[in-house]
A and B are shown apart, each in its own frame.
Chain A
Amino acid sequence: MEKFTKITSKAVPLAIENIDTDQIIPARFLKATDKKGFGDNVFRDWRFDKNGNTNTAFSLNNPLYSGSILIAGDNFGCGSSREHAAWALVGYGFKVIVSSFFADIFKGNALNNGLLPLQVSPSFLTILMDTIHKKPETEILVDLEKQIISIADTNLFETFEIDPYKKTCMINGYDDIDYLLSKKEMIEAFETQRK
């Protein structure tokens, strides 16, 4: 897993609530047996129509918006547990998803792939969304060590929560398998004691 400490980037707004993982990556793209190529099809049916024509009204297709931070509406990532959604967002180039609320399984999947699900207050989300809509060139700063998200050239910022264990994993690029394997003897002892 790639290490994550801080980034400064422009952001892409996606002011839709309850974005489910079927929208992030539709089921018909889940036939692959590796993790590659999902980025090409992220938000496929919002980015393109059925004939493959680009939907220019969709924010990811708007040349004004770019960057590795996605600002999305409330309850992002609900629905299916498909980790392909996280692979698709990472594959497309996103490193941070900002929302006022994340669905459980998506949040875990994102963290397991070095993608930071950053939860802000609804009011700060509105500020971020408005700022990017008005001034798309605005840079957003995310500092994981200090747990701060701020808007460049303003005094607007907010602190965010993250599980301390997951924070350590993100900063150092560790994954849970390494940790669990280090506990193997304890797990075997647990099995024996239950018999």
Chain B
Amino acid sequence: MSKTLFDKIWDQHVVDTIKEGPQVLYIDKHLIHEVTSPQAFNELKERSIPIFRPNQIVATADHNTPTINQHLPIKDKLSKNQLEQLSKNCSDNNITLYELGHKYNGIVHVMAPELGITQPGMTMVCGDSHTSTHGAFGAIAFGIGTSQVAQVFASQCLLLKKPKSLRVTVNGKLKKGVLPKDVILYIISKLGTNSGTGYFCEYAGNVFEDMSMEGRMTVCNMSIEMGARGGMIAPDETTFNYIKDRQFAPKGTDFDKKVAYWKTLPSDIDAVFDQEYIFDAEDIGPMVTYGTNPGMGIKITETIPKENNSSFKKSLEYMNFEAGSSLIDQQINYVFIGSCTNSRIEDFRVAANFIKGKQKAENVTAWLVPGSKQVEAQIIEEGLKEIFDNAGFELRQPGCSACLAMNDDKIPKGEYCVSTSNRNFEGRQGQGSRTILASPLVAAATAVEGKIIDITKQLN
């Protein structure tokens, strides 16, 4: 029987099936961080259950870390305690931890791929909904709750019902200035925030085939924003070239053997999906969001739609926007380029390329937060830091930062922030803050102009 990419990996990881119930799915890699793991460690400790496979767990500190002065002791007592708990839990249980300041430290969904930990055909989980990012490599990767973190600690398995399959195909040529972020924001704006619930999504078509690994990660990252537990893209030469020679990638003949296996993973030509959507690349433009969920997006040249629904109205009221109006010329005082969606080297190259020779507008505070220590080092090495410094942008140290504002990187009440992150929920970037999601290019242009502009005019 013909199988999808998802079927092939899932079926190879099923340990057992409960009659009329869930399946026991084996997990290859378990990524953990400071926020969603402590209660799971406690659970096991209280029940005297050992960690079953510590060498299949990798830990990093990212959600609750400062992005300046990382060499100094952390001021916030609760944050300090949470990070110390992680260090203690990892050392007590022989788990590899890339703590704050380590050369491999970074946002979990940036550091694991760049170290070659993420590989095609794997099952991967993390107590973070954006674990879908790793699906860019042709892996089954998804976010889990803390009870499930404890289950994987205890057994390296999870009890799950196999999700349904969904395929989103985009073919054609993307217009100038349209980035992977725009592609996924466009898809979510068309399908809505719950169309993917209960499904695992495969992205197919030449648009994704032509994307870099960084771009594919941006797309898969936001699968959860349409409700899909995970997103994935078939592994190909781009994938293999990215993984080759990375720290934890297989080497020599082992690598060749793996590649031969990885080549068997793509969905069979006649594989059937439970749901299919097809879009044309030509229809996609640079995107911005106007509301309080990622599905409320429009092309930058479009106007905010009119909808007669109380949740929609509540959302516009929160944003202080009016139905029927355009976001062009909207003054913006905060710009954030970072998060597990857009904090990889390619994102900073795009921003630097636009910013070069220009100046940040005076009204704007512009934070650039790299996804990892390695990305930070690369920004310096490629001379991008100089461009950012000269233009008045602030390059900070790696972490989740203003994407969820757990640390001090918060957007003040009532202020708009054009952000490359993944969620525009009420208060997501700080109490009362108003988030407009966009690509690194739109974010960079906004910072330079001090307002949202029609970027398509500058490019043509």
A interface residue numbers (CB < 8 A to B): 15-18, 20, 22-23, 26-28, 30-35, 45, 50, 73-75, 78-84, 86, 101-105, 108-109, 112-113, 163-165, 175-177, 179-181, 183-184, 186-187, 190-191
**Which one, A23, A75, A109, contacts B147 given CB within 8 A?**
A109
Interface SS, B side? loop
B24 in contact with A187 (CB, 8 Å): yes
What is the CB-to-nearest-CB distance from A174 to chain B, in angstroms, rounded to a whole number?
A: 11
B18 in contact with A165 (CB, 8 Å): yes
B431 in contact with A50 (CB, 8 Å): yes
Q: Do A183 and B16 contact each other (CB < 8 Å), given the known contacts A28-B405, A33-B38, A34-B39?
A: yes
Q: Which residue of A lies closest to B296 (CB)?
A: A18
Q: In the docked arrangement, what's the CA distance between A112 and B151, Å?
A: 11
Q: In the docked arrangement, what's the CA distance between A33 and B223, Å?
A: 29
Contacts of B148 in A (CB 8 A): 108, 112, 176
Contacts of A190 in B (CB 8 A): 15, 26
Contacts of A164 in B (CB 8 A): 20-21
What is the CB-to-nearest-CB distance from B415 to chain A, in angstroms, rounded to a whole number?
A: 13
Q: In the docked arrangement, what's the CA distance between A179 and B154, Å?
A: 11
Q: In the docked arrangement, what's the CA distance between A50 and B54, Å?
A: 42
A31 in contact with B24 (CB, 8 Å): no
What is the CB-to-nearest-CB distance from B84 to chain A, in angstroms, rounded to a whole number?
A: 9
Q: In the docked arrangement, what's the CA distance between A175 and B47, Å?
A: 13
Please tell me if B218 contacts chain A, counting CB pairs below 8 Å.
no
Q: In the docked arrangement, what's the CA distance between A105 and B39, Å?
A: 17
Please tell me if B79 contacts chain A, counting CB pairs below 8 Å.
yes
What is the CB-to-nearest-CB distance from B336 to chain A, in angstroms, rounded to a whole number?
A: 15
Complex A-B: 8 CB contacts under 8 Å: A35-B39, A74-B194, A78-B293, A108-B144, A109-B145, A180-B158, A183-B157, A186-B15
B39 in contact with A81 (CB, 8 Å): no
B78 in contact with A45 (CB, 8 Å): no
A83 in contact with B145 (CB, 8 Å): yes
Q: In the docked arrangement, what's the CA distance between A104 and B148, Å?
A: 13
A32 in contact with B154 (CB, 8 Å): no
B406 in contact with A31 (CB, 8 Å): yes
Q: In the docked arrangement, what's the CA distance between A108 and B406, Å?
A: 24
Contacts of B129 in A (CB 8 A): 79-81, 105
A181 in contact with B21 (CB, 8 Å): no
Q: Do A105 and B426 contact each other (CB < 8 Å), given the known contacts A112-B148, A177-B151, A190-B15?
A: no
Contacts of A101 in B (CB 8 A): 194, 197
A33 in contact with B39 (CB, 8 Å): yes
Q: In the docked arrangement, what's the CA distance between A50 and B155, Å?
A: 43
**Which one, B79, B158, B311, B432, contacts A18 given CB within 8 A?**
B311
What is the CB-to-nearest-CB distance from A173 to chain B, in angstroms, rounded to a whole number?
A: 14
Contacts of A82 in B (CB 8 A): 35-36, 145
Contacts of A83 in B (CB 8 A): 36, 39, 127, 145-147
B194 in contact with A26 (CB, 8 Å): no
B406 in contact with A27 (CB, 8 Å): yes
**Which one, A75, A81, A175, A191, contacts B36 given CB within 8 A?**
A81
B41-79 interface (Cβ within 8 A of A): 42-43, 47, 49, 52, 63-64, 76, 78-79
A27 in contact with B39 (CB, 8 Å): no
Question: Which of B24, B127, B159 has the most A CB atoms < 10 Å from its CB?
Answer: B159
Please tell me if B390 contacts chain A, counting CB pairs below 8 Å.
no
Q: Which residue of A lies closest to B146 (CB)?
A: A83
A27 in contact with B193 (CB, 8 Å): no
Q: In the docked arrangement, what's the CA distance between A180 and B15, Å?
A: 11
B229 in contact with A177 (CB, 8 Å): no
Contacts of B311 in A (CB 8 A): 16-18, 73
Contacts of A45 in B (CB 8 A): 426-427, 431-432
Q: In the docked arrangement, what's the CA distance between A101 and B129, Å?
A: 18
**Which one, B63, B155, B431, contacts A177 given CB within 8 A?**
B155
Q: In the docked arrangement, what's the CA distance between A191 and B12, Å?
A: 11
B227 in contact with A187 (CB, 8 Å): no
A187 in contact with B42 (CB, 8 Å): no
Contacts of B85 in A (CB 8 A): 33
What is the CB-to-nearest-CB distance from B393 to chain A, in angstroms, rounded to a whole number?
A: 25
B147 in contact with A112 (CB, 8 Å): yes
